[in-house]
Amino acid sequence: MTEMNSIRNRLKFRFFFRALFLASMMYAGDLHAQYYFNMFRPQADTIYAKLQHTSEKDKIDIYNSLAFYHSFANADSAIYYAELALELENTYPDEIRRADANRHMGNAYALNNQYGRALFHLNQAINIYEDHRSLRKKAELLFDIGKVNYDLQDYQEALNYMQRFEQLYEQENNEKNIIATPLEYAVAIGAGGGSISHWIGDYELSKNYFHRYIALSRMYDFPSLITAMVITSLGETSRYNGEYDSALHYYYQGRAYYPHNQDKPFELHTGYEGEIGYLLFRVGKPHVAIPLIRTALNENMADKNYYYSTFQATRLGNVFLHLKVYDSALYYYQQSLLYSEMFFEKHLGSMLDTLKPTVFFNYQNLMMMPDMQIRQRYYARRAEAYDNLYQYYQQRNDSKKALEYLQYKLPYLDSVRITAKETDLYRIQARFENERLEQQVNNLTRDNELAAFKLQRNKLVLASVGVIFLLVVALGVFYFRQSRINAMHEKLLVQQRLFRSQMNPHFIFNSLSIVQNFIVKHDDAKASIYLSRFSELVRSILNNSSEEQITLEEELATIGNYLALQKVRFSDQFDYELVVDDSLDPESTFIPPMLAQPFIENAIEHGVRNLGSKGKVDVRFIRGDDKISLEIEDNGIGREMALEFLKQRDKTHKSMATAITRERIAILNRKLKRKITMEIIDMKDEHGQAKGTKVVFGVPV
């Protein structure tokens, strides 16, 4: 549970930090802040128009303006214009302009999740600003670099940069040399210092930063919306520190600052009902908490915010469990599980390899979440939802149901840990790439000095071409290696999920129960045969799951063992037939492993199991002109009727076999000229009634 709360808190503060920073830029009164505000207006055409009437030297400023404009939403365009500025700067040297281009390029790479390059370019810029004592821009760069480290979850390093910003402001800011406006400084220490130190776990330091912001807001009359956000964050920190009464005080105080509450009496204030309700529950007022949390849940569902809906449903489940209203507790725990699945379908159901926008405070351009973080949220919510049901049935002394939900929880908990490791990998790669690029710059500097010496000896051209060639080759090798690492990592994740879907815990448990039954009946021969087949099946799945291609002979052996075991398990409720085209040579034909098994399982478990008469499952391998057609056909009740039976037994169940298989095929197809295809056919009789299901794979050979 601690790990789940950590992930939730991390993501919440990350987006709060960015949104609050943008809010400060939008409300600040100086020209710089107004530029940030205008950035989000459609002004690109005006900037482009200036290019036609500007000298080559002054085009550097235009290119930098365009790079800045795009660095908040379109990384590729920002990098393109920053590179144009750097190219012109070589002809018309100006170190401040070069630093500006590097800054915009660094922020663009950060937007594109290329954090190593982001750190490299931002550090290039800050070194120039320091050398030229361009202190205002240095302060902005300290904030930018701190934000990149925050995204990399290197919170101590992010805090170091925020404190460097704070120190620069306190030492250098005056009427003649404005490092930051009071609002910008207050937001940096409030949103920056407060949120980062909260995540580090130093709650006292976090509260100190928030209180400093509040003191400045009273002095300068900051915008009420930002002040409200800081005060409620102070309440959040107090809650994490176990100071529930103080947390309630700050939540109520923060609500009063929101514009829509300022003309209302206290009893009509709205906002943060879920947090306030749960705090009231924590201080011993569960009956008062229930309507508040319900209000928050209804608002979240109205906004289709399924992620936060899971929190509110879990909170209601906890309150009702505390009150021993077990039916209501179970209902809300199950709703939390359902909302987590709705979150999956909304954010992960289309393309897993693209960025998804998540809107916080209506600042969508800064809220692009990588798929990894969305998956991390989904896995965490699913694991916590299953854990709630596990704890519930433990308290109800229903060990069987408790064990069932514990088994559901474990794979998602593993996935949470895997995505956390992915973040660690991003951080390590970013540090490595930054150091590598800095070393390349150092090497390039030395090469340039050597080239200058060789210029006197008429060898500059040869040296320059050699350096450029080596640099291009090094970059090409690096990008090739990176793409291979990313592809292997994605493949391993899909294989791990596929393996878990094959080794269904219920199937293993039932198989071992059958062996136990044979032993009890002293039928040693059948027990031995069954156990031998079972061990062969497990061994083949373990061996084949790590391979990209296996022989058709190996696949047939796995399918045959699986069907034979399932037939014994279901007491001959079905027959099966395994057909291989005579023109196929099983020993020399290779196919991806275990494409068929999830759908054979579906045919047995959901198709023929509820048929009421003896079923039939056919698996056929048919040779075509340039492909093998793999067919899994059953005469079961059909998918629609199977779904109705499944809802009656388990309303929260969600089969992942089809989604995992499609994801796996998509990854395999990236490397194939002729693609693997999959089609699911609902078979009907002449009266339109379901008479079974057929799944057809087309595998190129």
Q: Is residue 72 part of a domain?
A: no
Predicted confidence band of residue 20 (pLDDT cuts 50, 70, 90): very low
pLDDT value at 10 more than 50: no
pLDDT at 442 over 80: no
Is residue 511 included in any domain, yes or no?
yes
Per-residue model confidence (pLDDT) at position 18: 42
User: How much is the pLDDT for 352?
Assistant: 37
Q: HSE on the CB side for 696, CA within 13 Å?
A: 12
The first and second tokens of residue 424, run together, are: 């660690």
Q: What digits encode the pLDDT tens for the residues 241-278? A: 999 999 999 999 989 888 888 888 888 888 889 999 99
The per-residue pLDDT for 493 is 52
Residue-level pLDDT at 283: 93
Percent of the chain exceeding pLDDT 90 equals 28
Positive or negative CA dihedral for 263, 264, 266, 270? negative
Where does the pLDDT of residue 520 fall: very low under 50, low under 70, confident under 90, or very high at 90 and above?
A: low
Within a domain: 83: no
Is residue 26 classed as helix, strand or coil in its secondary structure? helix
Domain assignment present for residue 438? The answer is no
User: How many residues in the chain?
Assistant: 701
The domain tally of the chain equals 1
Give, rounded to a whole angstrom, the gap between the first and last alpha carbons of the chain: 48
Residue 624 lies in a domain: yes
CA distance 204 to 27: 28
What pLDDT was estimated at residue 464?
62
Output the CA–CA distances (angstroms, integers) from residue 42 to 45, 81, 230, 570, in the order listed. 8, 17, 30, 66
Percent of residues, the chain, with pLDDT higher than 70: 78
What is the structure's pLDDT at 24? 39
Of residues 55 and 330, more confidently modeled: 330
Task: Give the tokens for residue 684.
Answer: 């009907």
Which span out of 50-64, 116-130, 544-558 was modeled with the highest average pLDDT? 116-130
Are residues 544 and 593 in contact, defined by beta-carbon separation less than 8 angstroms? yes
5-25 burial code (b ≥16 CB/10 A, e <16): eebbebbbbbbbbbbbbbbbb
- In one-letter notation, the amino acid at residue 196 is I
Residues 100, 104, 107: CA angle, nearest 5 degrees: 140
Give the model confidence (pLDDT) of 141-174 as tens digits: 898 898 888 888 888 998 999 999 999 989 998 8
pLDDT of 500 strictly over 50: no
Place of tokens 């036609």: 52
pLDDT value of residue 654: 58
DSSP state of 502: H
* Identity of the residue numbered 361: F
Quickly state the pLDDT bin for 115 (edges 50, 70, 90).
confident
Q: Is residue 615 part of a domain?
A: yes
pLDDT band at 326 (very low <50, low <70, confident <90, very high): very high
Which token pair is 415?
């996935």
What is the SS3 assignment for 61-118? HHHHHHHHHHCCCCHHHHHHHHHHHHHHHHHCCCHHHHHHHHHHHHHHHHHCCCHHHH
- Host H or E run for residue 378: helix 371-395
Confidence band for 4, pLDDT divided at 50, 70 and 90: very low
User: What's the rounded Cα separation, in Å, for the pair 250 and 238?
Assistant: 9
User: Rounded mean pLDDT of 405-416?
Assistant: 90
Q: Is the pLDDT of residue 517 over 90?
A: no
Decide: helix, strand or coil at residue 304: coil
Containing domain of residue 627, as a range? 503-700
What is the CATH classification number for the domain harbouring 634? 3.30.565.10
Q: 455, 356, 386: which is closest to 1 by C-alpha?
A: 386
pLDDT value, residue 589: 87
Task: Measure CA 379 to chain center.
Answer: 9
Q: What is the pLDDT of residue 444?
A: 66
Backbone dihedral angles phi then psi of residue 124, each to the nearest 5 degrees: -60, -40
Q: What is the pLDDT of residue 203?
A: 92
Q: At what angle do helices 95-111 and 115-131 cross, to 10 degrees?
A: 160
The residue among 420 and 587 whose pLDDT is bigger is 587
Residue-level pLDDT at 73 = 74
- ∠ CA 357-363-367 to the nearest 5 degrees? 35
pLDDT at position 26 over 70: no
Average pLDDT over residues 350-374: 41
For residue 561, being part of any structural domain is answered with: yes
Burial of 94 (0-12, 13-18, 19+ CB in 10 A): middle
Residue-wise pLDDT tens digits, 74-96? 888 889 999 999 999 989 999 99
pLDDT at 355: 37
Residue 603 has pLDDT above 90, yes or no: no
Element (H, E) at 461: helix 460-502
Share the mean pLDDT of the chain: 79
* CA–CA distance, 153 with 150 (Å, rounded to integer): 5
Q: What is the DSSP string of 205-266?
A: HHHHHHHHHHHHHHHHT--HHHHHHHHHHHHHHHHHTT-HHHHHHHHHHHHHHSGGGTTS-G
**619 forms bridges with which residues in the sheet?**
578, 632
For residue 692, being part of any structural domain is answered with yes
Between residues 521 and 622, which one has the greater pLDDT? Answer: 622
In 10 A of CB 648, how many CB atoms? 8
Give the distance from CA 31 to its chain's centroid.
Answer: 37
- The answer, yes or no, to whether residue 510 has pLDDT greater than 60, is no
Confidence (pTM): 0.55
